[in-house]
Amino acid sequence: MINRTFLISMLLGCLLMATVKLSGAGPYSQPGFYAPEVIHLDNGLTLILKERGEAPNVAIRLVVGVGHDDFAKGAKQTAHMVEHLLYMGTTTHDETEIDRLIQNHGGYSNAFTGNEETIHHLDIFNQYYLWGLDFLYELLTEASFSEDQVRMAAGVIAREEGGIPTGVHRWLYEHDITKPVWEMAYDRLLPNSGYQFGLEGCDNISRDELLKTFRQFYVPGNMTMIVAGKFERDKLLAKVRETFGRLPVTALPERRQWNLPFPIGPAELTGTLAPLFDSEGNVEMMFRTEGVLSADYYALQVVDRYLDRKVFEELRFKRGLAYDSGSSYTANRKWGIIAAGGAVDFDRMGEVRQVLEAEIDRLRAGEVTAAEIDNVKQRILLAQANGYESNGAVADYYADNLAGFQARGLYQNYEDAIAAVIPAQVSQVAARYLLRERAVLVMNHPTVTIEGLSALAVVVAGLAGTMAAWAYWRRRHRKSGEESCQTKP
């Protein structure tokens, strides 16, 4: 039998969506924001353009379909190393010259390697955007990849990751003794040992493997260039065709597909020696979801924002249990994770757990009112309306949401999609994913508390003082005895 409330909610949702489509962009959307110009070059490169004349700068993002997920354990830093090597020198300029050239043209450049993509950033004064395109093209076509640079890149990444682990550290980590509890949680939420990053280094990655990866993945059909800002379209397009358009047509790489089943059974994690010292414990309830391409994605956004406010208000304002608390939702193409909780005094961790379970049960049971859901949606929409003012922020949005664009052929209107979420969807999605029998509960207590460490320090200081006093007394006593011997007749 169909639930009457659910049916009515669905009909209202369809009516709302139809109204939104008839009226065009809603009141929270920037006109034309979701309709940038899209150009496909003959060699397969996708170009996304958004002309904006408010600020005299241009934001360029080059998104390459390669990331940590394309490599198994032992080689997961490969894409990251390639990213670094592209900026470590070309046949024309060394690394110092590259850095100075960017600054001398009013630019800022960086790059980031994630699970699924590598994104190269260049923000530059708008009079030099054509130079910026030449610069990026030089990186892709003239990078040196010398053995010395490979060694240097490995050292830089090791420092980024906190240094090269010793054999003892690696053994303790692999036996879950010094592994952070959050990594243990991800191990259970994304169960595939080859998928996990772990203490990943670069020692086993050869120059030949790096070159192979670069030639395999940095091909036109696997790259998207995004440009937002104040530029002349025809000049920009001519420059792109003159440079990136000359890259030869190359077969698309095969992307690694991972089997990441949902966790079976709940898990409760307490951590071991990580952290070693802290003044508070952490309580988190974590749940695995589908990723950004799921039909549930927008309802999950509402679930996350509802939990964020309710958990914060309950733990901080009403009970005074935690200063920093709330919820977060991380998602990519393959998976998502919702985590709710916060830092709390050790003796009240059980109370926090009860609060989290109660709020999640309300969501699953459909006890959250329509007014509460509408309030959450309104907050999301207002935040979105204020969120994309700079050219860099606009370019980043297009880059960060490229998965949906590639799957659907357009950028879906986020505001319209959030506005169309109905209460029945929220409870349905919560009941599907926020299952206690699949939850990973983190009850993380440091090995030594700051208070315990302070007490230990007082004891040690007392012992040290006692030993110093005893040594002083012995020295004085011995000196007194020596003086007595010298004065005897």
* Secondary structure in 3-state letters for 323-388: CCEEEEEEECCCCEEEEEEEEECHHHHHHHHHHHHHHHHHHHHCCCCHHHHHHHHHHHHHHHHCCC
Instruction: Tell me whether strands 277-278 and 448-449 are parallel, antiparallel or unpaired.
Output: parallel
pLDDT at 164: 84
Alpha-carbon distance of 462 to 470, in angstroms, equals 12
The H-or-E segment that residue 281 falls in is strand 281-289
Torsion angle of C-alpha atoms 268, 269, 270, 272, degrees rounded to 10: 150
Q: What are the start-end ranges of the E strands in 67-178? A: 108-113, 118-125
pLDDT at 172: 85
Q: Could you give the 3-state DSSP secondary structure of residue 118?
A: strand
pLDDT at 428: 97
Percent of the chain residues past pLDDT 70, beyond the cut: 84
Structure tokens that stand for 50 in this block: 């958004």
Give the pLDDT confidence of 363-383 residue by residue, as tens digits. 999 999 999 999 999 999 998
Q: Cα separations (Å) of 47 from 38, 240, 289?
A: 6, 9, 31
pLDDT at 115: 96
Alpha-carbon distance of 242 to 60, in angstroms, equals 17
Alpha-carbon distance of 344 to 357, in angstroms, equals 16
The H-or-E segment that residue 267 falls in is strand 267-269
Please state at what angle helix 423-433 crosses helix 349-365, rounded to 10 degrees: 130
Low-confidence ranges of the chain (pLDDT < 70): 1-26, 272-279, 446-466, 468-489
Nearest to 255 by CA among 330, 201, 334, 191: 334
394 and 59 Cβ atoms separated by less than 8 Å: yes
Tell the burial category of 27 from Cβ atoms under 10 Å away from its Cβ (0-12, 13-18, 19+).
Answer: exposed
Find all residues with CB under 8 Å of 272, minimum gap 6, and list them: 176, 177, 178, 179, 447
Q: Cα separations (Å) of 12 from 24, 296, 336, 412, 434?
A: 18, 18, 28, 21, 25
- For residue 391, give the amino acid letter: N
Structure tokens that stand for 307 in this block: 């939990």
The pTM of this model reads 0.85
| Cross-sheet strand order for the sheet of 325-331 | 267-269, 440-444, 281-289, 336-344, 325-331
Q: Cα separations (Å) of 383 from 1, 228, 253, 296, 378?
A: 39, 21, 38, 21, 9
Give the pLDDT confidence of 135-178 residue by residue, as tens digits. 999 999 999 999 999 999 999 999 888 888 888 888 888 888 88
